[in-house]
Structure 1
């Protein structure tokens, strides 16, 4: 498939924003039961603003993918059957909930409805609801692609798992840098989870690469043209120039460049951020931890490009590479 940079930025930015919120709320939840030190409201306010900014940036990027942006609202009309419609509905809901979460910390409105043992109860309740919505959004985004059965590289539960783990990993890596910048005592907590999620993402992404390298395609050159002969070989794509089919259903990169992208993202998303996290969170170095997030995010851009480009549309059996 031909990767659209608007969708690449959409999925990576909202994934990191969702992951950052999960990090913020998990820290607050641990501190509510006295497993971690309590943080100032400014920490959660700043984190919520950044998470919301990332999701707004992803949403804005998605509009570049639309031929008629003024009709974007119609995408929500097929919510009963379309995962894209469900994503269109749940993304603004998550953004609104993150805004309310940050606003509750900003307002200082913390009535203790269930006794004094649990602090910041309204924010905790909103946080639980937002966490559920965040995971639903991860599932909806992944299922947009996993539900397309004829694109066999995508049609796997690993697609949803990778979207979730890689988004959460980038969010926790960003939370580690934020904690260092704010002088928070949660650097070790966030850094440890960032490492765990990055390693889990490495395992799931490696599993998907292994699976995709061994796919037995259901469609063949013979089935594409309705002939059973074993020695059918295509010599030409049947036209003098390109067309919509050759532009939109094939990435157009050379075999060498396509292969190199895989190794670029494997290095940038996993080992380099892990090394920077290991060096940074033990010394609370803001530059190192911020670099870990930046490098990992750049790697995710390459990873998402490769994810889209690797999908081999069955029509390419007919419109093959020249």
Structure 2
């Protein structure tokens, strides 16, 4: 599949924002919430990121002014459900940010609603891809698990960075073990997904796609299919070497480096070092999301083969 930059940015940025909001909500429920200033900053950053993600999502639409119509198919479409849940979550996070800025104490019900809508948004976003049964790389529960764990991991790492910037080193130190734990958990489940996908065998064959029942079918020319919608939208155009290297990059930057940096920051009693973890991980997340789309093999490519 061809990775769309707008979707990569939307899912990555929104995931960080959801993780930030969930981290604060859980801390609030556990009675270990940070100072009002940091709590307000976390909520405003989360709201801002959600708005940026929403804006990014419009760039892949052919007719952005008709975007509101996407919500009309909520009975059958996970994208429609996502379109409904996202604005609700933005309003919820924004309202909490306003209350926190005015010094109002967060009520448990607000924290629970934030957690519920964050996970509902992750589920809707992941199901857009997990429900597509003919793309085997996506059609698995691990797709949903990975969207949630990557969001929680990035949100916790971002929370550490914001806490350090705000001078709340004690809160940052308390969050680091959770950030490491969820990053490690995300690493494990993403690794399981990669292992599963590497063993997949296409259910269709070149013979069934083309209707030619010869023992060996090889594409010699794109012919009249060259430059069509199918060849533009379902081929990422990168070489196999680029795809392999992207996988190595995102495994290192999304998981290994953030864990090492956070561990060094705590072991050396230097919380400022933890600031490096978020930009490293975010770069890795962009590569991970590109790979997520590029790895997906649409069955139509058995017919069109490769763009020559």
TM-score by length of 1: 0.91
Alignment match, 1:2? 2
Instruction: Point out 4+ residue stretches in structure 1 off by more than 4 angstroms.
Output: none
CA shift at 1:240, angstroms? 7.8
CA shift at 1:318, angstroms? 1.3
CA shift at 1:20, angstroms? 0.6
Q: Relative to structure 2, which stretch is displaced further, 187-196 or 200-209?
A: 187-196
Residue 292 (structure 2) aligned to one of 290, 301, 307: 307
Q: Determine the C-alpha separation between the residues in 1 that align with 2:226 and 2:73.
A: 36
Q: Tell me, yes or no, if the aligned pair for 2:11 and 2:53 is still in contact at 8 Å.
A: yes
Please tell me whether residue 61 in structure 1 is matched to residue 56 in structure 2. Answer: yes
Q: Relative to structure 2, which stretch is displaced further, 240-249 or 175-184?
A: 240-249
Paired residue secondary structure (1:318): helix
Alignment match, 1:226? 211
Alignment match, 2:271? 285
Q: Tell me, yes or no, if the aligned pair for 1:151 and 1:313 is still in contact at 8 Å.
A: yes
Residue 270 (structure 1) aligned to one of 228, 235, 255: 255
Please tell me whether residue 91 in structure 1 is matched to residue 91 in structure 2. Answer: no
Alignment match, 1:40? 35
Residues 1:277 and 1:216: Cα distance change in structure 2 (over 3 Å): same
- Paired residues in the alignment total 305
Alignment match, 1:138? 122
Alignment match, 1:213? 198
Residues 1:47 and 1:284: Cα distance change in structure 2 (over 3 Å): farther
Q: Tell me, yes or no, if the aligned pair for 1:180 and 1:284 is still in contact at 8 Å.
A: no
Alignment match, 1:117? none
- 1:1-322 alignment, distance < 5 Å: 1-31=1-31, 36=32, 39-110=34-105, 120=106, 122=107, 124-184=108-168, 185-239=170-224, 241-282=226-267, 283-286=269-272, 288-321=273-306, 322=308
Paired residue secondary structure (1:230): coil
Question: Residue by residue, what CA displacement relative to the aligned partner does 1:135-170 show, whole Å, maximum 9, x if unpaired?
Answer: 000000000000011111111111111111011100
Q: Tell me, yes or no, if the aligned pair for 1:100 and 1:126 is still in contact at 8 Å.
A: no
Runs (5+) with no aligned partner, structure 2: none
TM-score by length of 2: 0.95
Q: Determine the C-alpha separation between the residues in 1 that align with 2:91 and 2:266.
A: 31
Q: Relative to structure 2, which stretch is displaced further, 276-285 or 88-97?
A: 276-285
Q: Relative to structure 2, which stretch is displaced further, 182-191 or 192-201?
A: 182-191
Q: Determine the C-alpha separation between the residues in 2 that align with 1:239 and 1:69.
A: 31
Q: Determine the C-alpha separation between the residues in 1 that align with 2:42 and 2:218.
A: 57
When the two chains are superposed, the root-mean-square deviation of aligned CA atoms in Å is 1.5
Q: Tell me, yes or no, if the aligned pair for 1:84 and 1:140 is still in contact at 8 Å.
A: yes
